[in-house]
A and B are shown apart, each in its own frame.
Chain A
Amino acid sequence: MRADEGFREFVGRHQRAWIRTAYLLTGDAHLAEDLLQSVLIKVLGKWNGLARLDHPDAYVRKALVNQYISWRRRRSGGEIPSADPPDRSYSTEDSSVTRLMVRQALMRLTPKQRAVIVLRYYEDRTEKETAEILGCSLGTVKSQAHQALARLREFTGILTDIEGARR
C-alpha cells in the first residue's frame, strides 16, 4: 500500500540518524531499538497526517527524545553500567578511552540533562531548537546544560584536562 511505502521510505531514510540518537540517549543497543520502535509505531498510526508535514522527521525526533525522558522517569534506577572507568592516564589521542569515560558519565545524568547534551553537542542544535524539542524554556535548557557539563566534568575528571588541552 502506498501509505506503507511512503512510511517505509521515510523510515529508511532517517532511521540511521534516529537510532544513533536513541543509542546515545539510552546507552544500550536493545533499549535504543525498543525506544525507536515504540515511537515509530505511534508515527505509523498517524502517518496519513504526518506525511503532509514539511518535516515529519522533526516530529519523530521530538517524540523520540520525549519518549525517552518519559521511559526513564518510569524506570527508576536506570541502566547505569557497573564497570568502573579504567584507572590509567589518558591522552587526547586515546579516543576509545574517552568514549568509554563519556559513556559512563552520560549514564549518570538525569534523562533531561542527557537529552540536552545529546541535542546540543551531538546533533549540534541551538539552545532554542533544543528547548522546542524538549518543550521547555530556553532558561531550562541553559541550566540543564550547565549542570550536565558540570556533572560530566565531575564524573570524568580526565575530561576536564582534555577540554583544557583543546582550548
Chain B
Amino acid sequence: MTWLSDALDDIAEQAPDVDLADRVIEARGRRRRTLTAVAAGVMVVVTVAGVVAGVRLLHRGEEPAPAIDIDPPKSAMGPATQAYRLPCKELDGREPDCRGAGWRLVIGKREYELADALPGRNGPLAITENGWTIAYYSLKAGTIVTRDLRDGKVTAAPAKIPLNKMGSVAELVISDDGRYVAFSKVPEFKDPGMLFDMVAQRTRLLPNRVAPVWISEGADRVILATFSPRPRLITMADLWETASASDQTDITLNRPYYFGAAAVDGTTIVALEDNTTRQDNCVPGDLVHLEARTGKVLATIKNPHLPMQDRRVYLRNWRSQREILALAFPNPDCGSKGMAITAYALDVHTGKTRKLRTYKGDDFWSTAFPGIGGTP
C-alpha cells in the first residue's frame, strides 16, 4: 500500500526537530533536588546543629576564589592549563540572564571569563596541547573560532554554524598546531559535522553525531567514535586530497568502550571498557588496544590500576610511547567525596598509574584540557 506509506512518510517529515535528552536529564535532576530538599528539611528539624556544622566544614574546604577578568588580554602571560564551564540552566540560583555563567579559562593563577564563548552544554571548548590556542563557538562570529593566546588573534571558521544547529551536546578537537578544528554535535538534525582548516579556510564534512577523538598531524586523517553500548569507530583518511574522504572505515564494536587518542600513525587506539555494564559499576573496566580500522582487540590489560572505586576515568592524549593521560572525575555514585579532577599518567602496557596533578571541575561536559584525545 504505497500511497499510504508515502503519505505517512510525508506527514512524519513534518515532525518537529527536537532534542529531548537534556530536557529529560534536567527533569530528573529537578525531581532529585526536590526529594533532597524534602529530606534536608526533615534533617533540619531533627538536627539543626549538625547541618550548621556541616555547612561550616564545607566553607572551610573551599579554595579562595581566584581573580576573574573578562577575556584574556591580547598577550596572555602564559598558556592555558584548563578551562571549565560554570553552568547556567543546570544550576539553581543563577541570575535569570545567566550572568556569571559560561567558560572560564585558567592561565597560571588567573582566570578569564570568555564572554563570547557559547556558555551552554552545546558550547564546546578545546585547547591545543601546548595551551597557546583555544577553539570555541563564538556568539559574535556565529561559528567556531580559534584564538591565539600569544597575540589575541581570533580566526573564524570558513563556514557559519547557526546557533540553533549546535544541538544539545557539541564537541571540538583542535590539532596540536592549532590549525585544524573538528566539530560535531548531537543530535544530527540534517547538517553534518565539520573539519576546518583555519589557515587555508577550507572545510571538509564529517559524519554527524560521531565525536572526533583524534586528528593526525596535518589533519589528513581523523578518527571519530560514538560512546554507546555498541560504539562506532570511524577512520577517515586522504581528507584534503579529494573533495571527500576516499578512504574510510566504519565499524560497530560489540563492547562499550571509551576511547583515548590514537597512536601517532593512527593505526591503533587504546580504550577503557565502560565499567557501568559490569555488575559493580565501581570496578575499573579493562584497558584494551584496538586496531583502529577493524576494531580487532590486540591486547587487554585486566583491571588497570585506576582509582575507579570513586572515580570515572577518561583517556586523553599520549604523554610518551608508553603513557597516556587519564583524567579521573569524581563519581558520587561510587562514594566519591572529593570535588577535583585528578590527572594520571597511565602505562598502557602494565596498567600502572602515576599521579600528576589535580584540575578544577567535576563534570565531564564542563571541562576542557590541553591536547587531543578522547573526550573531554
Interface size on B, residues (CB 8 A): 48
**Which of A68-76, A78-86, A116-124, A133-141 has 4 or more CB atoms under 8 Å from chain B?**
A116-124
User: In whole Å, how far is A147's beta carbon from the nearest beta carbon of chain B?
Assistant: 15
Q: A23 and B187: CB pair below 8 A?
A: no
Q: Note all chain B residues with C-beta closer than 8 A to A19.
A: 15-16, 18
Q: B18 and A99: CB pair below 8 A?
A: no
Bound CA span A163–B281, Å: 55
Q: Which of B15, B187, B276, B281 has its CB near the most chain A CB atoms (within 10 A)? A: B15
Interface assignment of B8: CB less than 8 Å from any CB of chain A: yes
Bound CA span A103–B11, Å: 7
User: In whole Å, how far is A136's beta carbon from the nearest beta carbon of chain B?
Assistant: 21
Interface assignment of A40: CB less than 8 Å from any CB of chain B: yes
Residues A36 and B20 in contact in the complex (CB < 8 Å), given A98-B3, A102-B11:
yes
Residues A20 and B28 in contact in the complex (CB < 8 Å), given A40-B20, A117-B4:
no
Q: B9 and A12: CB pair below 8 A?
A: no
Q: A1 and B312: CB pair below 8 A?
A: yes
Q: A121 and B5: CB pair below 8 A?
A: yes
Q: A163 and B1: CB pair below 8 A?
A: yes
Bound CA span A40–B28, Å: 10
Bound CA span A95–B3, Å: 9
Task: From the candidates A24, A117, A166, name the one contacting B12 in the complex (CB within 8 A).
Answer: A24
Main secondary structure of the interface of A (DSSP, over half): helix
Interface assignment of B67: CB less than 8 Å from any CB of chain A: no
A-B contacts, CB under 8 A, total: 151
Q: Which of B14, B20, B22, B331 has its CB near the most chain A CB atoms (within 10 A)? A: B20
Interface assignment of A9: CB less than 8 Å from any CB of chain B: yes
**A96 nearest in chain B by CB position:** B10
Interface assignment of B226: CB less than 8 Å from any CB of chain A: yes
Q: A13 and B277: CB pair below 8 A?
A: no
Binary flags per residue of A128-167, CB closer than 8 Å to B gives 1, else 0: 0000000000000000000001001000000100110010
Those of B274-314 within 8 Å (CB) of chain A = 274, 276-277, 281, 312
Interface assignment of B353: CB less than 8 Å from any CB of chain A: no
Q: B276 and A2: CB pair below 8 A?
A: yes
Interface assignment of B209: CB less than 8 Å from any CB of chain A: yes
Q: B229 and A29: CB pair below 8 A?
A: no
Interface assignment of A77: CB less than 8 Å from any CB of chain B: no
Bound CA span A162–B127, Å: 59
Q: A13 and B5: CB pair below 8 A?
A: no
Those of A7-56 within 8 Å (CB) of chain B = 7-13, 15-16, 19-24, 29, 32-33, 36-37, 40-41, 44-45, 48, 51-52, 56
Residues A1 and B331 in contact in the complex (CB < 8 Å), given A40-B20, A41-B27, A152-B4:
yes
Q: Note all chain B residues with C-beta closer than 8 A to A166.
A: 2-3
Residues A15 and B364 in contact in the complex (CB < 8 Å), given A2-B312, A23-B12:
no
**B24 nearest in chain A by CB position:** A40
Interface assignment of B6: CB less than 8 Å from any CB of chain A: yes
User: In whole Å, how far is B232's beta carbon from the nearest beta carbon of chain A?
Assistant: 10
Q: Note all chain B residues with C-beta closer than 8 A to A4.
A: 25
Bound CA span A45–B13, Å: 30
Q: B333 and A98: CB pair below 8 A?
A: no
Q: A122 and B9: CB pair below 8 A?
A: yes
Q: A122 and B187: CB pair below 8 A?
A: no
Interface assignment of A58: CB less than 8 Å from any CB of chain B: no
Bound CA span A135–B25, Å: 29
Q: Note all chain A residues with C-beta closer than 8 A to B187.
A: 11-12, 15-16
Q: B15 and A12: CB pair below 8 A?
A: no
**A159 nearest in chain B by CB position:** B3
**A165 nearest in chain B by CB position:** B3
Q: A9 and B227: CB pair below 8 A?
A: yes
- Taking A9-B227, A95-B7 as known contacts, 7 extra A-B pairs with beta carbons closer than 8 A to each other, sorted by chain A number, are A36-B20, A44-B24, A45-B28, A52-B229, A122-B5, A122-B8, A149-B1
What are 24 pairs between A and B in contact, CB < 8 Å? A1-B331, A1-B364, A3-B276, A6-B276, A9-B226, A9-B228, A11-B20, A13-B209, A13-B226, A15-B18, A15-B19, A19-B15, A20-B12, A20-B15, A24-B15, A29-B15, A40-B21, A44-B24, A44-B25, A48-B276, A98-B6, A102-B7, A122-B12, A166-B2
Residues of A that sit less than 8 Å from B by CB:
1-13, 15-16, 19-24, 29, 32-33, 36-37, 40-41, 44-45, 48, 51-52, 56, 92, 95-96, 98-99, 101-103, 106, 117-118, 121-122, 124, 149, 152, 159, 162-163, 166
